[in-house]
Structures are given as structure tokens and as C-alpha cells.
Structure 1
Amino acid sequence: MLFDTAKISVDIVENDCLIRKNISVSVLRLDKIHPVASGNKLFKLHYFLQDALASSQQGLVTFGGAYSNHLLATAFACTAAGLKSIGLVRGEKPDKLSPTLQACIQYGMKLHFLSRAEYSNRQADNSMNQFQEEWKNFTLVPEGGYHAKGAAGAALITQLIEEDTTHICTALGTATTLAGLMKGAKKKQQIVGVPVLKGMTDIDKRIAYLTGTPNTATLLNDYHFGGYAKKTPALLHFMNTFYEENNIPTDFVYTAKMMFAVLDSVEKNVFPEGSKIVCLHTGGLQGNSSLRAGTLIF
């Protein structure tokens, strides 16, 4: 790997329900790779970085919103690899940059702001002509690493998971990590995805694009809490309680929703007795900085 994974731990989740149902739940702490830029995003970038270095490219250019974990991970990873980075940001430049974008700049990323119309049409022919000369020696990374290379990088995560694990659970946005887990999992391991966007109806199509195979993952729908980056008092309460009981911080965009879904599904007997479940902590804790001070206890 092009970044240090030695700090990753596997933390055990404990509660009375798990003991009663004889189910083991643990959290693969990918958030520990780095205090700001961490998680599955770095794995999804692995082969893009490797190819850029092998072909003597200057760096990576990619896309994201003002609170994009993917942009921040790209900025950090490129700096660590000795590469440059360019981020094309959705929306006009605000008077005050988000903490995430400020961190991107600190890691050397050059930001360009696109109107929402330009951003929506970014894949259309000739839509990015103004940047073509600047991109000439850069590797293009789709938003969220949504590409077969991104899925191949995410598949490396399964090397950190014990063979007797029965279920591997992840939050999903672009479905790239879900696809990677499907590629890398052992034959008897079931992959479980928790969509964090409302009304995701194209997951099968996404998996087919990323892997060339049908979607075999189990989906725990209806845990999006209103949609992408949306939150409710119930979710925030869960985050604080989960931290109090397990000393594991979560973010409200991805990991908190996934953990809520998994533990709620255990209570509803979705997982059979004796299951050994590993949940991916996909990082992104810096996103909590957008919450009002004092909302979280960590």
C-alpha cells in the first residue's frame, strides 16, 4: 500500500442484545489511518496513485462537494505520494470555505469551483475544455473513485478481515466500496450495504459497471435518515450513545447510519445466531465539524 495501515484496529462492539443473540460485531477502524484523511477513500485511490506514479503523471484531478471526504483524501494521498492534486468543487465559491476545503488547500490541492450546471455536465464532451491544458499530465479520478480501479482498491480492505467473518458491512454512496468488498470477500462471506442516499434505485447497475458481475450484496435500506448528509435527533443521539458505550466516534454521513442499521437489524433478527459481523469505519470524521458545537460528546 502507498500509505500506512499499521494504525488500523478491530474494535469489538458490546451490548446486551448481541450477547443474547450470540452475535459478534466489530468495527474495522479505517478512520485510524490518519486523523483527517482516512478510511475507504484512500483504498479507492490506491491504483489511481500507483498508475500516476508509474506513468510519471504530475498528479490527480477529481471532483466533489464542499464537504467531500473524497477530495480531502485525494489531497492528502497526493501529498503523501509526492504528487499534485486538483479538485473541481460543486457550486460557486463561497465567502468562507468549509473546513474540509480548507484542509484540502493545506494539503496542497488546487481548487476550481464549478457552477452546479457545469458540474452536472462535467462528463459531457468539451465541457471541461478550460482545464484541458492544465489536466494534460494528470490522472482523472471520477467522483468518489467510481471506477473499476476504485473498486479494485477497495477490494484490498478484505485482506484486513479474518476469514471466519460471516458478514462485512459498509455504508454506500457511489457503491464503489461495496463492489470492492464483493470482489475481495471469501466465498461464504456475505456483503451488506447501507445506502446513505435516499431512493438509490441503480445499485445493481453500478455493481455491474464496477465489477462486470451481478449484485449479490444484501442491502439494508431505509436507514438514510432523510438522504445524503441528512441527520435527525435520533441519529445524533445514537452517535453519542454508541461512543459512550464503545469509545468509537462516528460521522453522521456514513458510519453512524451504517452502525445504526446493523445494530437495529440484529435486534430485528436479520442476522442469524452465531454471525460474526465486521463493520467498516470509513472515516470522514472531519465532516462532524459542520455540526453545532456541543452536539456530539466526542
Structure 2
Amino acid sequence: MRLNVPSPLVELASDRIARQHLRLYLKRDDLIHPDLPGNKWRKLKYNLRAAREEGHSTLLTFGGAYSNHIRATAAAGRLFGFATIGVIRGERHLPLNDSLAFAAAQGMRLVYLDRSTYRRKSEPDVIIELHRRFGDFYLLPEGGSNAAAVRGCAELPTEIDQAFDVICCACGTGGTLAGIAAGLRPRQRALGFSALKGGQFLRHEVERLQSETYGTTKGDWAIAYDFHFGGFARRTAVLDEFISEFTDGHGITLDRVYVAKMMYGIFTLAERGEFDKGTRIIAVITG
């Protein structure tokens, strides 16, 4: 299997950015692999290695009905020879949506948990019952964020040979930001953009994941909470217009759940003067 790693880094030609005397580069992690784009591959890389080394033949993970992590885990199972089980929040609905249909086509077994049980998915009694039903498996958390994922994401800044000051990523579970921040060099900082309304809990999650991985917190990082557009997977006419204009201007269609909100946030902060003149910004395009 061929992976496009290191992923390409390209400068974005934008009058809106140039007027603020900034430079903006796109880290095209969406081009790593068609079925394992961006942070999905980085989060899975060391988890797949650990599953193999521990002798597991099955991966089990959690997600909502439109989860990109479910899709990626299903694809990784097919590509690397693991059986996969996706535990989906809520009731089964037929026909399957595109995300779940893709996962099923990769060979993933889809099972469903009612929402009250799903909220307790990390508690021992729920995990024990899943083992009783499905036997041995390697457990991946929802979103794929754990210590192994953090180590994978920490490799991203080390791939960048262009000098930069700030690196930006979208935040859903905090794993990507935790890793990127840990991989920074001195005088570099990371800025995450929460895709969730009420995402202030992400600060604790980033700290927890870094401590779990390294025994301490690392890097200079912060999270912007004001660009969620109403909540996870929510959209507005303003966001849709931004996506359309970005596609027309740069030939890249932004993922509306995560990446578009981050890019909108970068442009907005730039025009507010939040970045010093001359700042070199990296935006991670996770797909």
C-alpha cells in the first residue's frame, strides 16, 4: 500500500492573507491516502502496530453514524488484514448512509448501542459485555485519540522543512492537537479550532492525552472556541459561502465538519490582526 508521506506542503495564494502581511501554507494531509486521509492515518499508524504486536486480529471502535473515524478504521482493517467492529451510537436505520455503507463494504461489522449505554462506552461493564459478545479485540477509542495516536500526530511538524510560527488544526477529540503541539520546535505554537459548541473541555482532553503519552504536557498551544457554527456538523449560509468561495478561488473543497471551520477561523483571526505581521502559518488539511 502506498502512502503519500510526508504529505505535500503548498503555499496558499490569497489576497486576504497577503493584505495582512502573512503567509499561509496548507499541509495536505488529505492526500496521504484516499481511504486513510490526514489525521486518520496518523492516529491509526501506531495503534495498528500495537494491535499486531499484541496478537490481535480484530479492531473494535466507536462512532456516530457519520463518523470519519469509523470509515477509516474499516478501511484500515481491509488494507492491513484486521477484522473490524464498529459500535455505532443510536438505532440502526436503513438504508445505510454513505459513511456506514462504505464501512460495511470494507467488511466492518456494524453493531448499535442505545444512546444511554453509548455514553458509558468507556466504563468497564460495557467493555466486558462487548468482549463477551465479540471475544478478543484491540480497542480503539471514539475518534481514535489515545497515546499511540498522539505519537503518530507528533510526527507531523517534523515533516515540515518550511520555517513557520503557527500551525493550526481542527479539534474534535483533541488527539491531533495534543500530538502536533508535542512535536513543535522552540518558538513555534499550535492553535486548535474546536468543531464543537461548548468545546472548552478539549483543553482538559489535550492535557490528559499528553500526560498519558509523555508524563507531562508539552508545547505552546491554545484552542479557539468561537468557530463551531452552531455545533458539531452544523452549518450556516456564511460557512457554505466561504466553502464555495474557497473552492472557486483555490480549487480545494473543504470538509465542512472540521477543516472549513478552521480555515474560516484562520482568515477571521488574520483580518482581526490576531497574528503579527510576517507570521508564517501552517493549516493542516485533514480531509
TM (norm. structure 2) is 0.93
How far apart, CA to CA, are the structure 1 residues paired with 2:200 and 2:223? 11
- 1:97-121 Cα offsets, whole Å, 9 max, x none, are 1100000011111111111111112
- Map 1:106-255 onto structure 2 (within 5 A): 106-133=105-132, 135-162=134-161, 164-212=163-211, 213-214=216-217, 216-255=220-259
How do 1:14-93 and structure 2 match up within 5 A?
14-93=13-92
Q: Using the TM superposition, name which of 267-276 and 119-128 deviates more.
A: 119-128
> What's the counterpart of residue 10 of structure 1?
9
Matched positions, count:
282
The 1:46/1:76 distance shift into structure 2, 3 A limit, reads: same
Alignment partner of 2:246: what SS? helix
Contact 1:92–1:113, Cα closer than 8 Å, also in 2: yes
The structure-2 alpha-carbon separation of the partners of 1:16 and 1:270, relative to structure 1 and needing over 3 Å to count, comes to same
Preserved contact between residue 24 and residue 281 of structure 2 (Cα < 8 Å): yes
Secondary structure of 2:281 counterpart: strand
Give the deviation of 1:135 after TM superposition: 4.5
Find the residue that maps to 1:126 and give its secondary structure.
Answer: helix
Cα distance in 1 for partners of 2:124, 2:55 equals: 26
User: 1:262 — aligned with what?
Assistant: 266
Separation in structure 2 between the aligned mates of residue 115 and residue 60 of structure 1, nearest angstrom: 21
Indicate the larger mover: 222-231 or 38-47.
Answer: 38-47
> In the TM superposition, what whole-angstrom CA distance separates every residue of 1:56-92 from its partner, at most 9, and x where no partner exists?
2102110000100011111111211111111100011
Deviation string 1:120-168 (CA, Å, 9 cap, x unpaired) is 1212232244431454432101111221221111112223222511111
Cα pair 1:62 1:86 within 8 Å, conserved: yes
Q: Secondary structure at the match of 1:127?
A: helix
C-alpha distance in structure 2 between counterparts of 1:88 and 1:49, whole Å = 18
Of 12-21 and 94-103, more deviation after overlay is shown by: 12-21
Amino acid at match of 1:191: A
Aligned mates of 2:39, 2:68 — CA distance in 1: 10
1:187-217 residue CA offsets vs partner (Å, 9 max, x unmatched): 2211011001011222332122111234731
Distance (whole Å) between structure 1 residues aligned to residue 208 and residue 286 of structure 2: 22
Verify the 8 A CA contact 1:85 1:109 in the aligned structure 2: yes
Please name the residue that 1:291 is paired with.
none
Cα offset, 1:15, TM superposition = 1.9
Secondary structure (helix, strand or coil) at the match of 2:75 reads helix
Is contact 1:168–1:190 with CA below 8 Å preserved after alignment?
A: yes
* 1:278 maps onto 2:282 in alignment: yes
C-alpha contact (below 8 Å) 1:7/1:32 kept by paired residues: no
List gaps (5 residues or longer) in structure 2: none
Q: By how many angstroms is 1:258 displaced?
A: 0.3
2: CA distance between counterparts of 1:63 and 1:89? 6
Percent sequence identity over aligned pairs: 33
Change in CA separation of 1:81 and 1:75 when aligned onto 2, cut-off 3 Å: same
Aligned-CA RMSD value? 1.8
CA–CA distance in structure 1, aligned partners of residues 99 and 35 of structure 2: 9
Change (3 A) 1:46 1:7: closer
Report the Cα offset of residue 96 of structure 1: 1.8
Contact conserved, 2:65 with 2:88, CA < 8 A, in 1? yes
Which consecutive residues of structure 1, in runs of 5 or more, have no partner in the other structure?
Answer: 284-298
Distance in 2 of aligned mates of 1:263 and 1:256: 11
